[in-house]
Amino acid sequence: MEVRKSLVVNSTPLETRIALLENGQLCELFLERSMNKSQVGDVYKGRVAKLLPGMQSAFVNIGGVKDGFLYLDDPVAQRMGADLSAEEDGEEVSEDLPPPPPPLPPLKEGEETLVQVVKDPIGSKGPRLSRHLSFPGRFLVFMPGIDHIGISRKITDPAERDRLRELIRSHALPGEGYIVRTAAIGEKDEDLVGDVAFLRQMWQEIEAKATTVPAPGLVWQDLRLLQKVLRDIFREEVSTFWVDDAQAHSEVLAFLEKLHPEWANRVKRFTSDLPIFDAFGIEAEIDSARQPKVFLRHGGSIVLNQTEALVSVDVNTGKFVGKKDLEETVYLTNLEAIPEIVRQLRLRNLGGIVVIDFIDMVEAAHRDEVLARLQEELRRDRNHARAGGISEFGLVELTRKRTGPSLERQLTQPCPACNGVGRAQSPETSLLKAYRELVRLGERLRGAEVRLTLHPELSAGLNQEAREGLMQLARLLGARVSWIERADTPRQAVVMDLQLPGQDSASA
């Protein structure tokens, strides 16, 4: 079945949210908040804070709240940085992975070293770092220090693979490694060679800047979310790219002018008074994605639970009673659950070890069909995922590549009322909801009084940048905002009372 894809962008000064829709359904959500931007891909000059000889690793200070974690001698871990950018959009090298990178000099405590962030901080863990750097371009991933030319697994035509490999190999210098991305299929030689030159020049500028930046300090910052999505996800199969903000719309068109000017007609400006995520039904799907239970169309359900060790998925028949017999009912429920399981893993950005508890099936043919359907759905996932067989207990174990915190971790925090046993909406998420409500009201707020009532603990947890962003928006809209702290207010809610000109106050 052909999959129709579209991208929907909700952009404000405090937050950018980008939704990937497939056949009108939300499948992936990307978030970037001004108070908590991703560091993945950024290059720092760090200082070794502590060596851990027993783990062949080190903690490196890169100037953040928590030191980054760096593997030293494990070839697989060292190669993580080189693989990361190639796998950003589900790509892998086909017949051979990049060779283990050349050994780097041992580090000493207090020594300065150039590192790249390969994973953002998650929970109590600081960012994951690598000394082997990689830089994605339009068509290639550049890996300085590794003599290797790799081709994306998704490029299947043998003649095209040979063309791309020989072209890049003929223009690569000693000590330069490249992985050819899927976007390179059918591109002109001069455009691919131009990408080689661009990445080489960028690396030379990074090397030069690294000699002048004091440690710990930022040497090079990767593209921000909107540009990354344009580079990595806006492909031939994406039919429309909706944007609700004038500045973001201009940025998209300017970026496309350099990449694919012929795609500019797919970019649409959303001008309705209705918030863009409400118009596309995305806001409701985000709220549903924070709930453990998901109902299937014919009455069955799946329940997803995220723990520190793994993600569990339980499949239930629920109200689905079938038409023939128990085995057929169970088989059909398991089949129906598979696309939704994979969609929820993508939408919630769940990675690591995932255990799926399918309903027990007696017939071996049914078990084989369920496993085959699961593997087929996983191939559509941009994040590399691999499933094992079905155990005698009906369990399937799979691994899915982690790419930062899950959606739940991004939108919530440990609950202060239950000592972290559960999770509650974070202060930033609460404030951003109020912010979006002000944006929705727009010009109607001119001359209005806006009273925000919140719990003292919520007020104390708010980022100062987020507070100032909301106040600035209110001033631009001509409204006056006052903050009221009350202990009897729900801990995670921002209660908004509006006194519009000529009207009585109303809660929003």
Is the Cβ–Cβ distance between 418 and 412 less than 8 Å?
A: no
Amino acid 473: pLDDT = 85
At 378 the three-state DSSP class reads helix
Is the Cβ–Cβ distance between 457 and 489 less than 8 Å?
A: no
Which residue has better confidence, 77 or 304?
304
Angle between helices 326-347 and 364-378 (to 10 degrees): 20
At 500 the three-state DSSP class reads coil
- How far is Cα 135 from Cα 206, in angstroms, rounded to an integer? 11
Say which residues have a Cβ less than 8 Å from residue 307's Cβ, sequence separation at least 6. Answer: none
* 90 residue type, one letter: G
The per-residue pLDDT for range 412-467, each reduced to its tens digit, is: 887 777 666 678 888 888 888 888 888 888 888 888 888 889 888 888 888 788 78
Of 98, 130, 97, the closest CA to residue 114 belongs to: 130
The per-residue pLDDT for range 175-205, each reduced to its tens digit, is: 899 999 888 888 889 989 999 998 999 999 9
- How far is Cα 143 from Cα 167, in angstroms, rounded to an integer? 17
Is the Cβ–Cβ distance between 193 and 171 less than 8 Å?
A: yes
- How far is Cα 457 from Cα 244, in angstroms, rounded to an integer? 33
Amino acid 505: pLDDT = 53
CA angle 32, 313, 125 (to 5 degrees): 45
- How far is Cα 157 from Cα 79, in angstroms, rounded to an integer? 27
Amino acid 217: pLDDT = 94
Which residue has better confidence, 53 or 161?
161
Amino acid 91: pLDDT = 45
The 10 Å Cβ neighbour count of residue 363 is: 12
**If pLDDT is split at 50, 70 and 90, which confidence band does 301 have?**
very high
Of 250, 248, 241, 244, the closest CA to residue 271 belongs to: 244
Label the pairing between strands 449-454 and 480-485: parallel
Which residue has better confidence, 500 or 11?
11
The 10 Å Cβ neighbour count of residue 153 is: 15
Q: Which long-range contacts (CB under 8 A, 24 or more apart) does 197-201 make?
A: 198/137, 199/135, 199/137, 199/140, 199/142, 200/142, 200/173, 200/176
Average pLDDT over residues 34-53: 89
- How far is Cα 488 from Cα 467, in angstroms, rounded to an integer? 21
What phi-psi label fits residue 121: left (phi over 0), alpha (psi between -120 and 50 degrees) or beta?
beta
Q: What is the DSSP string of 142-160?
A: EEET---EEEBTT---HHH
Residue 19 pLDDT > 90, yes or no?
yes
What is the number of residues in the chain? Answer: 508
The 10 Å Cβ neighbour count of residue 185 is: 17
Average pLDDT over residues 481-506: 78
The per-residue pLDDT for range 122-147, each reduced to its tens digit, is: 777 889 999 989 999 888 999 998 88
Q: What is the DSSP string of 367-378?
A: HHHHHHHHHHHH
Question: What mean pLDDT value characterizes the chain?
Answer: 86
Listed range (103-117, 118-132, 293-307, 318-332) with the worst mean pLDDT? 318-332
Question: DSSP class of residue 505?
Answer: -
Is the Cβ–Cβ distance between 178 and 149 less than 8 Å?
A: yes
Amino acid 99: pLDDT = 59
Is the Cβ–Cβ distance between 226 and 256 less than 8 Å?
A: no
The per-residue pLDDT for range 272-294, each reduced to its tens digit, is: 988 999 999 999 999 999 899 99
At 168 the three-state DSSP class reads helix
Label the pairing between strands 5-11 and 238-243: parallel
Of 11, 15, 473, the closest CA to residue 269 belongs to: 11
Listed range (103-107, 309-313, 487-491) with the worst mean pLDDT? 103-107
Residue 384 pLDDT > 50, yes or no?
yes
Residue 94 pLDDT > 70, yes or no?
no
Amino acid 77: pLDDT = 45
Q: What is the DSSP string of 52-79?
A: EGGGTEEEEE-SSSS-EEEE-S-HHHHT
Residue 79 pLDDT > 70, yes or no?
no
Is the Cβ–Cβ distance between 133 and 114 less than 8 Å?
A: yes
Token pair for 261: 């000017």
At 497 the three-state DSSP class reads strand
H helix or E strand, kind and range, residue 278: helix 276-279
Q: Is the dihedral of CA 104, 109, 114, 116 positive or negative?
A: positive
Q: What are phi and psi of 19, to 5 degrees?
A: -110, 135
The 10 Å Cβ neighbour count of residue 204 is: 11
The per-residue pLDDT for range 27-38, each reduced to its tens digit, is: 999 999 887 778
Amino acid 320: pLDDT = 66
Burial state string for 440-458 with b = 16 or more CB within 10 A and e = fewer than 16: ebeebbeebebbbbbbeeb
Average pLDDT over residues 316-332: 80
Is the Cβ–Cβ distance between 103 and 109 less than 8 Å?
A: no
- For the chain, the distance separating the N- and C-terminal CA atoms, rounded to the nearest angstrom, is 43
Q: What percent of the chain has pLDDT over 90?
A: 45
Amino acid 495: pLDDT = 85
- How far is Cα 53 from Cα 291, in angstroms, rounded to an integer? 42
Q: What percent of the chain has pLDDT over 70?
A: 90
**If pLDDT is split at 50, 70 and 90, which confidence band does 371 have?**
very high
In SS3 terms, 216-231 reads as CEEEECCCCHHHHHHH
Q: What are phi and psi of 350, to 5 degrees?
A: -95, 130
Question: DSSP class of residue 233?
Answer: T
